Amino acid sequence: MPSQIILFDQSRSASHLLAKVLSKQPKLEKLHSLYSACRGKQVEWLTSDDWENGMAEADYSAFKASARTATADKILLIHDHPFSSAHPEHVQSFINSSSTIPPIPENFTSIPDTLLLHTNTIPVLTIRDPRLAVSSAYRVLTSFGFSHGSGRPNFLISTTLVWQRRLYNFFCSHGVQPMVIDADDIMTDPGYCRFVCEKLDLEPELACIEWEKITEEEKANIHPMLYASQMGLLESTGLDASRAAKNLDFVVEEKKWDDEFGDDVPMVREMVESGIPHYQYLRERRLRM
């Protein structure tokens, strides 16, 4: 049995759908956002006028956390964006050097190796076609009240697939094979959802593939940002294959971008184009039935 499952997600890659699929598993003990304090400090820094000067030393304290452990006979499920815990120096280096992948794999996060490489850890990396993931991230960030996709520095680090690629390389360099899951597979195939549960040493028959839509009372009590970021899932009642990349006409989709994203279209396209090679690399290594 795994000791922990660390779910690192590309933004807008159906990771919350995957978490929903796993939500009825009695073996799991969920711990969301291990480094949640980091992201707030990170956004404050990257949306400031002087972000190029680096993060304030006093804010580095957010990038420290102790290892968490599950109770006996439970598997700890940790779910977070990899960029949320990325060390500020690595974040700034990425913004300055774009999609460069270091030749020697390294842990770019502030999460200690002892936690990432804990015995019997299964790392899960979710991915999605950048043409969908990047455009969706822009919409969500705008719905949060950020203009221009929250600005170039923050938009770049929160939409790139470099973090997923680097995590894959890091785990492989230590003899740990990450489980790469493409959003398309989760969205379109209940059998695949059960297969994922089986591979995680969970109970396939308990895969959650249907659920109740959010009620008006629940909606009134949910944080607006949480609703905005998970609206598609919260308003659904099960898997939705219509949102899968293989079921969309991207010629039609991309024609909408000029009107929707205006002056920020070049930035959106830049992140889509830079992400395609990493997506293809990881997709070739995804979990298959």
Q: Where are the domains of the chain?
A: 4-284
What is the number of alpha carbons within 13 Å of residue 21 lying toward its C-beta?
A: 27
Tell me the Cα Rg of the chain.
18
d(CA 114, CA 253): 43
Q: Are strands 75-80 and 4-9 parallel, antiparallel or unpaired?
A: parallel
Instruction: Render pLDDT for 264-279 as a digit per residue (tens, 0 to 9).
Output: 999 999 999 999 999 9
CATH no. of 4-284: 3.40.50
d(CA 268, CA 260): 11
At 86 the three-state DSSP class reads: strand
Instruction: Render pLDDT for 32-62 as a digit per residue (tens, 0 to 9).
Output: 556 656 677 777 877 888 777 777 766 666 5
What pTM, to 2 d.p., does this model score?
0.90
- Write the CB contacts of 177 (distance below 8 Å, at least 6 apart in sequence): 171
The residue ranges of DSSP E strands in 183-252, in sequence order, are none
d(CA 196, CA 284): 17
At 129 the three-state DSSP class reads: coil
Determine the pLDDT at residue 99: 60
Q: Which residues pair with 30 in a beta bridge?
A: 77
Of 141, 15, 155, the C-alpha closest to 81 is 15
Determine the pLDDT at residue 254: 93
Query: Is residue 11 within 8 Å of 154, Cβ to Cβ?
Result: no
Determine the pLDDT at residue 47: 82
d(CA 221, CA 24): 23
Q: What is the pLDDT along the chain (289 residues), one digit of tens a residue?
A: 899 999 999 999 999 999 999 999 999 988 755 665 667 777 787 788 877 777 776 666 655 554 455 566 889 898 888 888 888 888 888 988 766 788 889 999 888 898 899 999 999 999 999 999 999 999 999 988 888 888 888 999 999 999 999 999 999 999 999 999 999 999 999 999 999 999 999 999 999 999 999 999 999 998 888 888 899 999 999 999 999 999 999 999 999 999 999 999 999 999 999 999 999 999 999 999 9
At 265 the three-state DSSP class reads: helix
Determine the pLDDT at residue 151: 87
